[in-house]
A and B are shown apart, each in its own frame.
Chain A
Amino acid sequence: MSIQEIKNQEITSSQGADSAIEMITIIVDGFEVSVPKGTLVIRAAEKLGIQIPRFCDHPLLDPVGACRQCLVDIEINGRKFPKPQASCTIPVEPGMVVNTQLTSPVAEKAQKGVMELLLINHPLDCPVCDKGGECPLQNQAMSNGGGESRYEGVKRTFEKPINISSQVLLDRERCILCARCTRFSEQIAGDPFITLNERGALQQVGIYEKEPFQSYFSGNTVQICPVGALTGASYRFRARPFDLVSTPSACEHCASGCDMRVDVRRGKTLRRLAGDDSTVNEEWSCDKGRWAFKYEHRDRLTSPLIRNESGELVEASWPEALAHAAHGLSINRAAVLVGGRSTIEDAYGYSKFARIALNTNDIDFRSRTSSDEERNFLAALLLGKSVTYLDIDKADQVILLGFEPEEESPIIFLRIFKQVRKRGLKVSALAPFTSRGNEKLKATVIKNVGNEVEDISKFALTNRSVILVGERLAEVSGALTAALKLAEQSGAKLAWIPRRAGERGALEAGAIGNLLPGARQVADPKARQDIERAWGSGPLPTQTGLSTDQILDALHKGEIEALLVGGVDPGDISASAIDGLRKAFVVSLEIRNSAMSEVADVVLPVAAVVEKSGSFLDWQGRARKFEAAVTNSLHRSDVRILSILADEIGRPINLGTVEKAAKELASFGDGSSDQKSALASLSADQAKIKEPGKNQAILTSWRLLLDNGSLQEHEPNLAGTAHPCVAVISDDRANRLGVVDGDLIKISNSNGEIILPLQIGDIDPRAIWIPRNSENSRPLLALKSATHSLVSVVKA
């Protein structure tokens, strides 16, 4: 942390102290409790361990007082409210005396009465209800209800269930109209597609018929529904909660860093729930994190594979496969590519394996489009790693550069949205068009493709501003440097948001050519000595390693002949990556059969996240450790396999367990000191893009949250709520082409073409935007370019 940053922190914390919180003391059931002004009575009672029954109340949603279950007796300075009051809507006041069901027969009777009314139309079909066994209604009917109902009439029924999206089902007769789901959609996700419709006995949750509940966050409504009215299509009728074993876990899908809970039955994940981490995901998750996990069970590799003489991959024993891999990697000049989803322990395994077993710095975790400028930027960035979600909460403005939060890091989106809604946080984005996400954030969008470097320098920021840089910004030369400069000049905080869960960890583990573990520069002899001493190894390679692109280039040229890859999809890097791999001896550590199997000479199966322990570093650099949820798996973590492979090569890395790797890595501490050398190597001017001709446009793209990503395979319900795969063009262009919304257009260059339905949007008129990795739209493969190149756009 620089001195400037420390000062800023002091300023903000002293500001916090100024506005000292006023405390109010009240009496609940005869006990005194002091709570900050504004606290609701129900929360004050919680502080004393007194639980008032409730349904609609949720600490992260605005109070609504819809269910009336939380009635208590209240008096203020001796004046009694004539009737019991809803404790979830009334803030504490000086002189308040509260009597809950524990001390007030009136409150107890009121609660029993409300419960009886709630149950009048409730089907009580607990034996076939997903919520049975973990249901707040079931539990509180037992703890605070009346036992027998006096109602003898016919219960109201509805046609059941209805799909409010492809993944959420609604059984209306179970609904107790607490409005948690509708408030969540509006207040937290900004997707008010479900509402309370009709009135009286017919009141019900519903969608507008033509508009299903297409929200990336819809699964949260299933989790917070206090009854079994909302259920997830892929979990419905699958399990009883008491048959599941729950394990705290971490989400492997993006760098937001969600706390997760994995529920496993007999070795299989049946569902995942958002964990409760107020500093990260609060209690929410996105639908991908919640519902994309079938990859764990499908197309899994169960035994090592070796390519035989006739070129086929065949099963082999571990000793045979390891010996073959070790031989191939040691007789050739070898490099390492690590996928973006490694745990930090696994990434550290690759990092150490490269340096010791292969004696090279040619390693890169950026199995995607990347640049040298980025590598230097990342090294420089590690020097000031102190941006957190809390900084977003306190920011005076947030700048989004090459970053589309709702698609690329959804919890960051929720966090910004919360501040936009609560206090009108100012958001600006540099993007080709105003996406729906940016509309929800009321962002000022600067649409000026090809001019990013100049636009970045124009932002006026303060030391309370936060700059969020997406990994895509690396695709614009000079932009990362400009962002770093902007942060330096203004004192604003700058954070880098990789899209994948493992990248930040891999960076700190040194799985990149210019850095050793603990952010030490390869080029710094003292840093190398630190590591040599810790590893007890001989001299480490001194030359800064090759980057992903350089490694591929060297493969094409035959300068590198062997490659170790861990969880890499060559199609994410470039269209021609696979051809380079074909020429080399490839050892692939993989969980599933993948494109790598086409080119690998040895395939070694490894454990999926649920089967191993480890940790992911989120974008904040904060680690979330997790244990194996499936404990009896035969699969092993990458780092363990790498350690055996290194033994086989005869250059041991001694990382037999994940714990060992974690401990060793932690012992390095933060070695970043040499700021100058990292910053000095930064500099780049933006390459000029030619002005597009009449039927041309500048291509832009990013990945949608739900797309063709390999970890989302076999999840049709989830895929049903993917954003539509469309090409966005301006009104002007549409008029010129004589096309309207939904018409097909053809986007092409000399490499190929993509045909998509179009959508007219608020886009830079010179640009076109398409999804980067969706069905029918994989520009990196089809056009050999994903962004900032000229394409022709015509009516298809």
Chain B
Amino acid sequence: MNQPISSPYSDKDLAVMDSIVKRYPRTRSAIMPLLHYLQSIEGYVTETGIETIAQILSLESAEVNAVATFYTQYKRKPVGQYHVGICTNTLCAVMGGDAIYQSVLEHLGIENDGVTDDGKVSVEHIECNAACDYAPVVMANWEFYDNQNVESAKDLVDSMRQGNPPPPTRGPDRLVTWKEASAVLAGINDGLAHQGVQAGDPTLLGLKIAKNSKGGE
């Protein structure tokens, strides 16, 4: 039915969502970027958001909900302006990730998935981020802070609460907010992609050794 979409989102937002849908030959493919886009508006995936996507894509809300609950990057409750993910997978864990995780939670006085009262910082333990070469790593809004320790991580979250986090070790020159990062994940270019180091020295070390070794021994 060609009923207008009834939702509280602005015409501009609905127009962006429409453009996202148009990127795909099968409209259903737009579920994931649309969910990210909703997070860029509201910070997390709300029921209204799920129902709106269902309406836009002519799906049942249950189908959108299934996707939204499967991926942990979609948040079903508000997160901080800076969402911190501390890697506690094997390599990071033994290199200090477990200790960082524990002490940051204690330092902020929150539990896993909790948000500080000021709404600035939330913390979640995450699985391997394919950054083991910089272990232990901490992510903030999916940007890397490499080779952390308990103190540097505490300083990092403190600076976030004060509103002046340092730039990520790799990635853009400034740390974007959770909502800004979500818009990027929705496929909306923020123009920062060229900034910062992409593959750093530890990542390329093996390649360098291979190239220098003669005959590949």
- A residues lining the B interface (CB < 8 Å): 191-199, 206-208, 210-211, 434, 439, 760-762
Contact = CB atoms under 8 A, between A and B. Distances in A.
B38 to A, nearest CB: 16
A206 B66 CA distance: 9
B42 interface: no
A762 B1 contact: yes
Given A208-B50, A439-B1, A762-B1, A192 B63 contact: yes
B56 to A, nearest CB: 16
28 contacts: A191-B60, A192-B59, A192-B60, A193-B62, A194-B62, A195-B63, A195-B66, A196-B66, A197-B65, A197-B66, A197-B69, A197-B70, A198-B69, A198-B70, A199-B69, A199-B71, A199-B72, A206-B62, A208-B60, A208-B61, A210-B61, A211-B61, A211-B62, A434-B1, A439-B1, A760-B3, A761-B1, A762-B1
A208 B71 CA distance: 16
Nearest to A191: B60
A198 B62 CA distance: 12
Contact of B60 (A199, A211, A761): A211
Contacts of A194: 62
A193 B66 contact: no
A434 B66 CA distance: 28
Nearest to A182: B66
Interface in B94-123: none
Nearest to A761: B1
Given A195-B63, A195-B65, A439-B1, 13 more contacts: A192-B62, A193-B62, A194-B62, A195-B62, A197-B65, A199-B71, A208-B61, A211-B60, A211-B62, A434-B1, A760-B3, A761-B1, A762-B1
Interface in B147-205: none
Interface residues of B, number: 15
A279 B70 CA distance: 38
B79 to A, nearest CB: 18
Contacts of A198: 69-70
A197 B70 CA distance: 6
Contacts of A761: 1
A194 B65 CA distance: 10
A191, A197, A760, A762 pick with most chain B CB within 10 angstroms: A197
Interface string B29-53: 0000000000000000001001000
Contact of A199 (B1, B47, B62, B70): B70
A196 B66 CA distance: 6
Nearest to A204: B69
Nearest to A731: B3
The list of the 4 closest CB pairs from A to B, nearest first, reads A195-B66, A208-B62, A208-B61, A197-B69
Contacts of B62: 192-195, 206-208, 211
Contacts of B72: 199
Contacts of B70: 196-199
Interface of B: 1, 3, 47, 50, 59-63, 65-66, 69-72
Contacts of A195: 62-63, 65-66
A439 B59 CA distance: 12
A721 to B, nearest CB: 15
Contact of B65 (A199, A208, A434): A208
B1, B62, B65 pick with most chain A CB within 10 angstroms: B62
Contacts of B1: 434, 439, 761-762
A151 to B, nearest CB: 23
Contacts of B60: 191-193, 208, 211
A60 to B, nearest CB: 21
B125 to A, nearest CB: 14
A439 B70 CA distance: 28
A570 B69 CA distance: 53
Contacts of A207: 62
A673 B70 CA distance: 64
Nearest to B61: A208
Contacts of A760: 3
A372 to B, nearest CB: 38
A762 B63 CA distance: 24
Contacts of A191: 60
Nearest to B6: A741
A211 B50 CA distance: 12
Contacts of A206: 62
A761 B3 CA distance: 9
Contacts of B50: 208
B112 to A, nearest CB: 14
Nearest to B70: A199
Nearest to A195: B66
A659 B128 CA distance: 73
Contacts of B66: 195-197
A726 to B, nearest CB: 15
Nearest to B71: A199
Nearest to A205: B66
Nearest to B63: A192
A401 to B, nearest CB: 22
Contacts of B65: 195, 197, 208
Nearest to A434: B1
B77 to A, nearest CB: 14
A207 B1 CA distance: 23
B45 to A, nearest CB: 13
A740 B1 CA distance: 17
A195 B67 CA distance: 9
Contacts of A762: 1
A761 B2 CA distance: 10
A194 B70 CA distance: 14
B163 to A, nearest CB: 34
A345 B50 CA distance: 54
B46 to A, nearest CB: 13
Contacts of A193: 60, 62
A782 to B, nearest CB: 29
Contacts of B71: 199
A195 B63 CA distance: 6
Contacts of B3: 760
Contacts of B47: 210
A90 to B, nearest CB: 25
A207 B71 CA distance: 17
A191 B63 CA distance: 10
Nearest to A213: B62
A290 to B, nearest CB: 22
A211 B47 CA distance: 12
Nearest to A760: B3
A194 B50 CA distance: 15
